[in-house]
Amino acid sequence: MQVWPGSAYPLGATFDGNGTNFALFSEGAEKVELCLFDENGEETRVELIDVDAFVWHAYLPSVQPGQRYGYRVHGPYDPANGQRFNPNKLLLDPYAKAVDGQIEWDQSVFSYTFGDPDSTNDDDSAAAMMKGVVVNPYFDWQGDRQPKTPYAESVIYEAHVKGLTMTHPDIPEDIRGTYSAIAHPVVIEHLKKIGVTALELMPVHQFVNDSTLQEKELSNYWGYNTIAFLAPQNTYSAAGGVGQQVQEFKAMVRALHAAGIEVILDVVYNHTAEGNHMGPTLSMRGIDNAAYYRLEDDDKRYYTDYTGTGNSLNVGNPHTLQLIMDSLRYWVLEMHVDGFRFDLASTLAREFYDVDRLSAFFELVQQDPVVSQVKLIAEPWDIGPGGYQVGNFPPQWTEWNGKYRDTVRDFWRGEPSTLGEFALRLTGSADLYEQDGRWPVASINFVTAHDGFTLRDLVSYNEKHNEANGEDNNDGESHNRSFNHGVEGATDDPEILTVRARQQRNFLATLLLSQGVPMISHGDELGRTQGGNNNGYAQDNEITWIDWSSVDQPLVEFTSVLARLRRDHPTFRRRRFFDGRPVRREEGSPLPDIAWVRPDGSEMQPEDWDSGFGRAVGVFLNGDGIRERDRRGEEIHDRHFFVYFNAGDEAVDFTIPTATASPRWEVLVDTAGGAADSPVIEPGGSVTVGAKALVVLRDHEEEIVESDPSVAASLAALTGTIDVIPAQAPPAELPH
C-alpha cells in the first residue's frame, strides 16, 4: 500500500477523485495509527508519520469511497492529569462524514475495568466499534437553490425523522422512518398544506444508543447523544451500501428545497456520547481528552458537566472550536442545509465559567462568511449556574422563547396576573429583544416542543405519565402548566372533549397570529398524543410516532387556513415592533399601529393590566401602521384587524369601538364557532367571544369575499358557514 505525506488540511478523510487524504488532530499523542477495515473486518494499520501543528496526516492513493476506518492513538494513560490515551481502543474520527455500524456494548469499549475507574483495560475494541467511512463528495444537486425564506415569512415545523414518517400508510414500508420518507411527496404535501416553510429536524448527527437504555429494552430515540458532528445518522437511511446515507440525506434536502421548504438541523455541540469519567472511550476521549473536554480544575479525572449528560465540550480550545465551525460549514456548503438550532446553547458561551455572549464561539460565528448567513437559533439555557439566558444572545441570533411558551400556556389555562405579559409575548417580546437592536423575529415562538407534552396532551393531562421510561415516573418536567379540564387523560365526555378541542385551536391560533416566528411541534396539528408521557426521549415506538391512522382532520384544516391567514397578511408577521404612534389617514382621526381594548370597547388602562383577575382583552392591529417596505421598496399596507381573547369560563361580549379604521367588520376566525351567527358587524355593535375562545375580525370589503371563493371557503372552514364550503372540503361542522 502506497502512503504519501498528504496534507494537514482539511481534517478528516477527504476523497479527491483519485485517493484519500487522512488528517487527525491530537496534541498529546506520541503515535497515531490509521486503521483500515475490509468487508470481512480484517484490519490494516498505517502509521501516520507526518505531523504539522499537532495534525497527523497521510495520503493513500488506493483508498476509495466506502472504505471503513478508525484510529489508534498512543500516549500516556494518566486520568489524574486528564490524559486517557489507549491504543487498544479503536477511535472514531471526529470528522467522519459517514459512520458504519453501531456500538456493541461490552467491556472492550471502556478504558477501565468495571468496578475500578482508575484501572487500565487493554481489551481491543475494534470488533465492538462503529467505523468511519470515506464518502464520495460528488452529488447531482440539479441546480438546487436554498429558499432563503426571511424569518418574518417563516413557519418552522420541528420533527423527528422516524416519528414523523414511521406509520404513514402512503409511504412505502421499506423507506418509512428515513430521509427518503421525509422526501416523499405525501410528507411534503402535508407540510405545504399547513404553511410550513422550514423543517427543523431533531438530531441527525450520528449518535449513540446508550447501553443503559438498551438494558431496559429502550433506546435513545431523540438522538441528543452525538458522536460524529459531520455524519448523518445511519439508522435513518433506507439506502443500501456503506456510506450511502450521505447521498440519501442530500436527496432529501434537494426535494424539500424544490418545494420551497428549508432544512434546519437541531445540533448538539455541547457534549458528546462519551459521558463522564465512567463512560466509554469511543473518539475524542482517546484522541485528546484534555483538548476536547472541559475538565475539573482540581481533579482532571472528572468532567465539568453543564448539560446533565456527563461532559461538556471545551469551547475554550481552538481545535474544538475549529471542529464545531468546520462541522457547521460542511452542513451548509456540502449538505445544503439552511440553518441550525443549537441545543443547550448557553454551554457554548461558557468559555471559562460564566455564560459570556462575547465568547470566542459567537465571535467566530459572527465573522464567518458562511455560517453567519444561515438561520441561527439558540436554545438559550443549560443546567449550569446562570444558564437561563432567554433574551441575551447576540443580535444575529434568534432564540427559542421559553417565556412565550410559559405565558401562553398560563393565560389559556386561566392563571392570574398573566394579561400584561401575554400582551408582551403576543407582540414579539420587545422586553427581551428590542434593547439590543433585535426585532420580533428574534423570538421563536412555541407552545409545545419535543421535550414536554404534545398539544393534545397539554389540554388532557394535569400530571406527567412517564412510567414506560422505567424511572418510576421521576423523569421529565413536573410543572407543565397544563390542564385536563376535568378528567385525567382519555374520556368520552362530550363537554370535556369540546373544550379540549377549542383549547388546541386557541393555542394554534395564538401561535400563528403572534409576532415573531411560529414553531409547530410535529403532529400537534394532527391531534397527536403520547398518552401523557412528557419525556419520550427513550420511546422509539408507537408512544412517540405519529399515528397517521388517527388524524384530527378538522384541526389540520384549521391550522392550514390560519397559516394562510398569516402568510397573506403582513400585519401578523411584522419585521419591526409596534410603537403605538398614530398613523395618518386620508379620512378620520389618526389611529395608532396597535391599541388594546377592554370588553366595553374602551382603551385598556394600567390598572386593567395589573388587576390580577383579567381574562379577556382585545387588540386592534392597524394595517396602515406597518411602516415597512417590501423587497421592491414599496410601503406595505394591509387590512385592519381586531383579535379578541377570552380565557375565562364565561362568554364575553366585546363592543366594537366606534372610532375604528373600518365602517364594518367581518368574522374570520372563531375558535368557539358562535360568532359566525353574525359574520358582519357594525362599529358600536358587539361580538360574543365564547368561554375560552378567540375571535378574529377583519375590516369588511364585501367584494373581496364575493370574488374570491378561496377566501370564502377559508372563512367557512373557520366559522362554520356551510353553504360556501366546496365539495372537496371536509364536512363543515367538523372544525368545531
Distances (CA, A) of 192 to 262, 407, 482: 12, 29, 30
User: Which helix (H) or strand (E) element contains residue 111?
Assistant: none
30-65 residues labelled b (16+ CB within 10 A) or e (exposed): eebbbbbbeeeeebeebebebeeeebbbbbbeebeb
Written as one letter, the residue type at 362 is: F
**Residue 627 backbone zone (phi > 0: left; psi -120 to 50: alpha; other: beta):** left
SS (H, E, C) 273-319: CCCCCCCCCCCHHHHHHHHHECECCCCCCCECCCCCCCCCECCCCHH
Strand (E) or helix (H) holding 368: none
Strand-strand pairing, 616-621 and 517-521: unpaired
Closest CA to 604 of 425, 422, 435, 430: 422
Candidates 274, 326, 338, 343; catalytic one? 343
Of 427, 344, 320, 368, which Cα lies nearest the Cα of 643?
427
Q: Which of 400, 299, 310, 292 is nearest to 346 (CA)?
A: 400
* 379 included as an active-site residue: yes
Write the DSSP assignment of 717-729 as a string of letters: HHH--GGG--TTS
The 8-class DSSP code of residue 98 comes to -
Marked catalytic residue, from 288, 379, 524, 624: 379
Q: Which residues contact 227 (CB under 8 A, 6 or more apart)?
A: 92, 99, 130, 206, 207, 208, 272, 273, 274, 282, 283
Which sign, positive or negative, has the C-alpha torsion 685, 688, 694, 698? negative
- Measuring CA to CA, how many Å separate 163 from each of 234, 264, 519, 544? 16, 17, 17, 6
- Between CA 99 and CA 13 the distance in angstroms is 12
In contact, 133 and 151? CB cutoff 8 Å: no
- The three cell numbers of residue 424 are 408582551
Whether the link from the prior residue into 494 is cis, omega within 30° of 0, is no
Q: Which residues pair with 646 in a beta bridge?
A: 616, 693
- Shortest CA distance to 56 belongs to which of 89, 12, 8? 8
Euclidean distance between CA atoms 163 and 542, whole angstroms? 9
CA dist., res. 255 & res. 248, Å (int): 11
CB-CB contact of 272 with 227 (8 Å): yes
Q: Provide the residue type at 160 as one letter.
A: H
Neighbours of 706 (CB within 10 A): 10
635 a catalytic residue: no
Catalytic center residues: 343, 379
